[in-house]
Chain A
Amino acid sequence: MRPFREALISLVRRPVLAALSVTSIGLSLFILGLFGLTAHNISKALAAVEEKVEIVAYLRDEIDEAQLRLVRSEIGAFPEVESVEYVSKTEALYNASRELAEFSDVFPDVEVNPLPASLEVRLLPGQRDPHTVGTVAARISGYEFIDEVRFGREWVNRIHTLRRIAGGTALIVGGSFALVAMLLVGTTVRMSIHARSTEIAIMENVGATAGFIQRPFLAEGLISGLAGGLLALALTFAAYRLLDRAVMAVLWLPDLWIVAGILGGGVLGMLSAGRSVRRELKGLYAI
């Protein structure tokens, strides 16, 4: 408990320095939080679009009941496949008449239904990338009673590219801000070490171990980081409320992201404190 007691005393005794440290972490994580909010909402929107990615396998007219059951169950057993829905010729005509309102008057009069029956194949989440979709479509088209397979290759490619851009940007922007936060925390911890140089010299003098001297500074970094994480959470929540009310409906971050963000702040604070402590106190007992 001593490191935390000492760290709290140090933070309370130097409120300006402490505020600078917490604010720098808080603002850095706030930027990450905003980005997280955007990324989460983009991701959800993409997932909704991706939900619609499906493979439609048109069946030959001559397929019988037994063959249909067989082909349906075999495709349904593919590890990438979530569900297989059968759409009969009649259903296809009904759907077409609903979706194409301008022809709705024509359809009831046709003597022969020109639309084929089909299987609508939905893939499991995580299996909707262009490569997997293409592979599954190729496998389905190999069946004898399948006339044609369509899956909107363009759409799948675009969605996947968007996802990759979002992920890459999150990594680069997040990493950059984390680095800035680390540098700022490191600087404030170094200032804290300088402010306590007399104390450190006395500790060395009376036989304190290096760990004993360093632990309060690590605790200080951890506390600053956690406080910065909470500040960032408050700011991100305020931004979310503002966006949600004034601009558009926005989804709030998942709980796991929030916990990870606050803990991440703590780890960030401790890592940068550790780096500064090692650098500043490298002469400790170095004879």
Chain B
Amino acid sequence: MIRFRDVTKHYPRSGTALADVSFHVRKAEFVFLTGPSGAGKTTVLKLVHMEAAPTEGEVIISRFSSTRIRRREIPQLRRRVGFVFQDFRLLERFTAAENIAFALQVTGANRSAIRSKVMRLLDHVGLASRASAYPAELSGGERQRVAIARALATDPLVLLADEPTGNLDERASLGVFDLFKQLNSLGTAVILATHDATLLRRHRETRVLELEGGRLVYDSGAAAAQPPDGSTGDSSIFELVRDGQPMDRDGQPMDSGAKQGSGSERGGTAP
């Protein structure tokens, strides 16, 4: 569903943000995108959202390709790709319900359809009782839930989340993460950019793409996503490799011969 083919991204001022990155995210898959600050995580999300075009290579999202997409098709793509930010980006002058409705108005939906969908989405994220609250009256976790509901308003194929728990305390983070997992289990793919090691440790079964200096240095699901022999593959036979060295989940070198990659778990999120 989302495919990066030898993608390189140069910015005129800041230089190379991504270098020769390739990966494939399947429908309804959950992927952590990790790496230190400046590694290229946000650039990957921007390329998926087509806020930027690759300098080299190709990004494919569903039927849209970065090499062929027309300017007027980008809004259509954006409706299929929900985006959740660390700073929520809610409109302070709108209530929770109005913030979600705002995303539906752009699709030209009629008022009654918007009203019922907004209530359904608020219910879905556990905020039905806070519909008329303004962002300033909501906790950080609640704000992020409103932002997630807004991102879901257009029934996206994939949710992109850029450090969505970065501004939240641990309890709120867990709640928001559980919500992402729940949405994923209902069929929405999720690409969650984070450098929260605790979160990664807690969810070892989830596929991880690790970037460093703009290069993809680790893909725990590479085997499942792109079996080298072309078969559907049993991912448990593939080692996690970083710079040619087998690694453990915490990024520590493993003994040669050690095997990693809980294929059965990945299989559950990457049908």
Contact = CB atoms under 8 A, between A and B. Distances in A.
Interface in B75-95: 75-79, 83, 89, 91, 93
Contacts of B62: none
A206 B72 CA distance: 14
Contacts of A210: 71-72, 75
Contact of B154 (A2, A202, A207, A209): A207
B102 A287 contact: no
A96 B15 CA distance: 97
Nearest to B82: A206
Given A206-B106, A207-B106, A198 B91 contact: yes
Interface stretch (B27-35, B48-56, B187-195): B48-56
B75 A285 contact: yes
A75 B91 CA distance: 78
Interface residues of A, number: 18
Interface in A183-215: 198-199, 201-210, 212
Interface string A110-138: 00000000000000000000000000000
B74 interface: yes
Interface in B129-179: 150-151, 153-154
Interface string B42-65: 000000011111000000000000
B89 A207 contact: no
Contacts of A285: 71-72, 74-75
A207 B78 contact: yes
A247 interface: no
Interface in A69-100: none
Give the 8 A-B residue pairs with the shortest CB-CB distance, closest first: A207-B78, A207-B79, A208-B106, A206-B103, A287-B53, A285-B74, A207-B75, A209-B75
Given A206-B79, A207-B154, A208-B75, 16 more contacts: A13-B93, A202-B102, A202-B103, A203-B106, A204-B78, A205-B49, A205-B83, A206-B102, A206-B106, A206-B151, A207-B79, A207-B106, A207-B107, A208-B106, A287-B50, A287-B51
A267 to B, nearest CB: 27
Contacts of A201: 89
Contacts of A212: 75, 106
B245 interface: no
16 contacts: A199-B91, A202-B103, A204-B78, A205-B78, A205-B83, A206-B78, A206-B102, A206-B153, A206-B154, A208-B106, A209-B72, A287-B51, A287-B52, A287-B53, A287-B71, A287-B74
